[in-house]
Amino acid sequence: MVDPARLSRGLRLVGGALTTAWALATVAFFAVRLAPGDPTQMLDASIPPSQAAAQSRLYGLDRSLSEQYGAWLGGLVTGDLGWSYDYRRPVSEVLGRTAAPTLLLTGLALALQYAVALTLALAAAGSRSRTRFVDALMAPLHAVPTFWIGLLALSVLARRWPLFPEHGARSLDAALQGSWVAAADALWHAALPAAVLGLGGAATIYRLTVTRMAAALRSPHALAARARGVGEARIRWVHALRTALGPAVQRLGLDVPALVGGALTIEVVFSRPGLGRAVHRAFLARDIPLLAAGAFAAGLFVVAGSALADWLTNRLDPRGGSA
């Protein structure tokens, strides 16, 4: 027997997801299509007007805006996202090739961001001198733009001291040496860009959690645990960390969009293939199908990050989900 309450909740979630997807698709299409500039002039300036008109018909640019919008929504349903003017291949194929490096970069940056922030907060909480020292270390990361940190890291750690690859997402011969070698090579190429992308956000999460951890270490619950002989490490890792995880996890809804947006800059600085670099190239070429699809994909990443943050928050504190 199907629970009516659960069925109703599931239908609301599905309806909300479809409405969100439609809103993202609509905003992506009109934001790109109504931008200044004539996309027909970007196809190929060297061809005669008759061929330019034929290409406009081929790409559907001779249709009305409403017809193009309907075709765009229909293509999203069927998986046909159109043809990239610049890459000369289907948009879905371009996104399929570029999304994986961006997901790897964003995932590593997110993991590094939270690992560094929570580790430093655990070490500094409850000690004024350690807190001041870590604050001094994290302040520049919070204040300096990501692209400047990327240029500095590239200059010092990839060129002056070649500890990391200077550009690209993998070595040419790594794929020929087996899957494990190829995976390790991909992680090595992503390590420096991910560190640059994630450390800036780590400063914000650190400031958000260290205060909560310090308050948790002074709470009656922590004092009672010390009186029972519970070790300080256990109090920090179990009680204080769990108390501080709530606000940190809620930041995921903001961190994921920030990392996806920052990936565009990092992929350009480090000459990495990825969704951000493809969208940047599409912007320069006025490639409307790829621009709209890239914006839609980025919006889906944002929604997925917010949904993940809500789910994790409810797992950490079920009372918040039932309120």
Give the pLDDT confidence of 122-139 residue by residue, as tens digits: 888 877 888 888 888 888
Say whether pLDDT at 322 is over 60: no
Count structural domains, the chain.
2
Kindly state whether residue 1 falls inside one of the protein's structural domains: no
| Average model confidence (pLDDT) across the chain | 78
Say whether pLDDT at 301 is over 80: no
H-state helical runs in the chain:
4-33, 49-58, 65-78, 91-124, 128-143, 146-153, 179-217, 220-227, 232-234, 241-250, 252-269, 275-285, 288-316, 318-322
Question: What is the model's pLDDT at position 320?
Answer: 47
Buried b vs exposed e over 70-95: b needs ≥16 C-beta within 10 Å?
eebeebbeeeebbbbbbbeebbbebb
User: CA–CA separation, 269 vs 196, rounded Å?
Assistant: 11
| Same domain, yes or no: 181 and 67 | no
Kindly state whether residue 85 falls inside one of the protein's structural domains: no
Kindly state whether residue 6 falls inside one of the protein's structural domains: no
pLDDT tens column, 243-277: 777 777 777 777 777 887 788 788 888 888 888 78
| Same domain, yes or no: 143 and 220 | yes
| Same domain, yes or no: 172 and 30 | no
More confident residue, 257 or 281: 281
Closest alpha carbon to 20 in 314, 299, 305, 258 = 299
| Same domain, yes or no: 73 and 130 | no
Q: Which residues 6+ apart lie within 8 Å of 121 measured at CB?
A: 206, 209, 210, 213, 244
pTM of the model: 0.74
What the block records as the tokens of 18 is: 């479809």
| Same domain, yes or no: 112 and 252 | yes
Say whether pLDDT at 2 is over 60: no
| Same domain, yes or no: 108 and 42 | no
| Same domain, yes or no: 41 and 113 | no
Question: What is the model's pLDDT at position 81?
Answer: 83
More confident residue, 234 or 58: 234
Virtual torsion, Cα 230, 231, 236, 238, nearest 10 deg: -50
Average pLDDT over residues 85-105: 85
Say whether pLDDT at 44 is over 80: no
pLDDT tens column, 151-165: 888 888 888 888 888
More confident residue, 174 or 111: 111
Say whether pLDDT at 293 is over 80: yes
Question: What is the model's pLDDT at position 323?
Answer: 38
Question: What is the model's pLDDT at position 321?
Answer: 44
Kindly state whether residue 16 falls inside one of the protein's structural domains: no
What the block records as the tokens of 285 is: 């070429």
Question: What is the model's pLDDT at position 141?
Answer: 77
Say whether pLDDT at 4 is over 80: no
Question: What is the model's pLDDT at position 261?
Answer: 78
Average pLDDT over residues 295-316: 75
Kindly state whether residue 13 falls inside one of the protein's structural domains: no
| Same domain, yes or no: 109 and 37 | no
Kindly state whether residue 30 falls inside one of the protein's structural domains: yes
> Which domain, by its residues, includes 52?
25-78
| Same domain, yes or no: 72 and 100 | no
> Taking each helix axis from N to C terminus, what angle separates 241-250 and 91-124, rounded to the nearest 10 degrees?
150
CATH number for position 221:
1.10.3720.10
| Same domain, yes or no: 105 and 253 | yes
| Same domain, yes or no: 197 and 70 | no
Question: What is the model's pLDDT at position 43?
Answer: 55
Kindly state whether residue 213 falls inside one of the protein's structural domains: yes
| Same domain, yes or no: 154 and 29 | no
CB 149 within 8 A of CB 194: no
Kindly state whether residue 14 falls inside one of the protein's structural domains: no
Average pLDDT over residues 11-34: 81
